[in-house]
Amino acid sequence: MPPFIHKSLDAEEKLALLSRDSQYDLACACGTNTDEHRRRSSDQKWIYPVALPTGGTTFLFKTLISNECVSNCKYCPLRAGSNARRCSLAPEEVAGAFLSYQRAGRVGGLFLSSAVTRDPDTTMERLNRAALILRKRQFRGYIHLKIIPGASDDAISQSISLASAVSLNIETAGEHNFRHLSTTKNYSRDIIRSIEFISRLTAKGSRYERVKQTTQFIVGASTETDKELIDSSWKLYREMALSRIYFSAYQRGAGSADLPGERSLRSNGELLTREHRLYQVDWLLRRYGFEASEIPLDSEGNLSLTTDPKETWARLHPEFFPVNLNKDDKYRLIRVPGLGETYVSRILAFRKNGTRLRSLDDIGRQNKTLGKARDYVTF
């Protein structure tokens, strides 16, 4: 069924619609704490925070350049044949709208994505042209560009030359899971090969090493296990040096009726908990020194929905404990349930100043999180 195009919308109405539809792509922001959650501006556009490579944060102006799509990603509400309200913006309109927000001090950067209009390179040309307009108008700030699966190397290279960060969504783990999601894209050629190409262009020591690469998994739309997602994430971090990986729980009713996620026995709430557990694992892999092989899984290769993975690991490794808060190093401290980076930094600072800790009360006010450490530490 061809898309139904509403030609009567003006630029502001299109922007309101397209910025709303951009909510399905999380590859520029992560809700690990309340300061990182998206919020609506006064005129009902989504504004997203993002951490800058130089430190600090800025708010992103986030929109699609078009939601007219020829791809059939079965999990996506904007897929070809769906009844989404369709429209597009010219690159000049996107650039002008962003600059008006930026000059007013309401945003500091841009996240620009798109549905696949006509073909990948036609779409990339529009995304890149919007970014080029901004660069020619002397905007030197943060631009995150979406890379369209199947885009040519030349189109990807131009995006990297213009952007501060790029992302191509991997969607799921492995070809066998991807087949459930799309028949118009080739997993190895259109996604994995392109992610590898971006990694080479942005590798340490390269001309574009300042450009960050992220990606996103759609969790629960296909048949993937948590083990497959964790192993894929580990490979993306270790072998392709991605900056961040994001997870988006599939919610029933958004996609095609023949999608495995529509037949899942898990509730939408359980899928959101699964997403949260995967973010906890991501933190363990990126920040706490865990390896993928250490993450505790059940017999089917999935994470516990009732216990966070760090606490599960601690229960399975009693030989590692207790940890001495006055003597042990950061590696051991960070593996204690309830002790995150803030508490560990506080402990090390006390020790550096010659303060001997005698109880958890010396670290901070007692709460549920810190209370988890009680059975795993000694003084």
Q: What share of the chain is helix, strand, coil (3-state, %, to 5)?
A: 40, 15, 45
Q: In the chain, what is the greatest distance between 2 CA atoms, to the nearest angstrom?
A: 72
Q: How far is CA 155 from the centre of its chain?
A: 22
Number of domains making up the chain:
2
Q: State how far the Cα of 47 lies from the Cα of 188, in Å rounded to an integer.
A: 33
- Say yes or no: 293 and 351 in one domain: no
Q: Answer whether residue 135 is part of any domain.
A: yes
Residue-range definition of the domain harbouring residue 110: 11-302
CA dihedral 64, 34, 330, 295 (to 10 degrees): -60
pLDDT value at residue 368: 84
Per the structure block, which two tokens stand in for 299? 């017999």
Residues 327 and 263 in one domain: no
pLDDT tens-digit map of 190-208: 999 999 999 999 999 999 9
Q: Mark whether 104 and 69 lie in a shared domain.
A: yes
Clarify whether residues 65 and 174 are in a common domain: yes
The number of CA neighbours under 13 Å toward the Cβ of 185 is: 33
Bridge partners of 292, per DSSP, are none
- CA 331 to chain CA centroid, Å, is 26
Q: Which pTM value belongs to this model?
A: 0.88
158 and 45 in a common domain? yes
Residues 217 and 357 grouped into a single domain: no
Of 278, 302, 326, the one marking the end of a domain is: 302
Q: Does a structural domain hold residue 366?
A: yes
Q: Quick one: DSSP state of residue 148?
A: P
pLDDT tens-place values along the chain, 379 residues long: 444 444 467 777 777 777 776 666 655 543 344 444 455 555 544 455 555 544 556 678 888 999 999 998 998 888 888 888 888 999 999 999 999 989 988 888 999 999 999 999 999 999 999 999 999 999 999 999 999 999 999 999 999 999 999 999 999 999 999 999 998 899 999 999 999 999 999 999 999 999 999 999 999 999 999 999 999 999 999 999 999 999 999 988 888 889 999 998 888 889 999 999 999 999 999 999 999 999 999 999 999 999 999 999 999 999 999 999 999 999 999 999 999 999 999 999 999 999 999 999 999 888 888 999 999 999 9
Number of residues written out for the chain: 379
Whether residue 36 is contained in a domain is answered as yes
Q: Indicate whether 297 and 357 sit together in one domain.
A: no
Q: How far is residue 237's CA from residue 324's CA, in Å, rounded to a whole number?
A: 31
**Is 142 within the bounds of a domain?**
yes
| Shared domain check, 329 and 295 | no
Residues 304 and 312: beta-carbon distance below 8 Å: yes
In a domain, 351, yes or no: yes
d(CA 63, CA 291): 36
pLDDT tens digits along 277-292? 999 999 999 999 999 9
Taking alpha carbons only, the member of 272, 278, 275 closest to residue 292 is 278
Distance CA 315, CA 325 (A): 19
Same-domain check for residues 250 and 327: no
Q: For residue 6, tell me if it sits in a domain.
A: no
Query: Do 97 and 240 reside in the same domain of the chain?
Result: yes
> In this structure, is residue 1 part of a structural domain?
no
In angstroms, how far is CA 171 from the centroid of its own chain? 11
Asked if residue 337 and residue 196 are part of one domain, the reply reads no
Say whether both 166 and 117 belong to one domain.
yes
Q: Is residue 3 part of a domain?
A: no
Average pLDDT value for the chain: 88
Check which CATH number belongs to the domain holding 259 and give it: 3.20.20.70
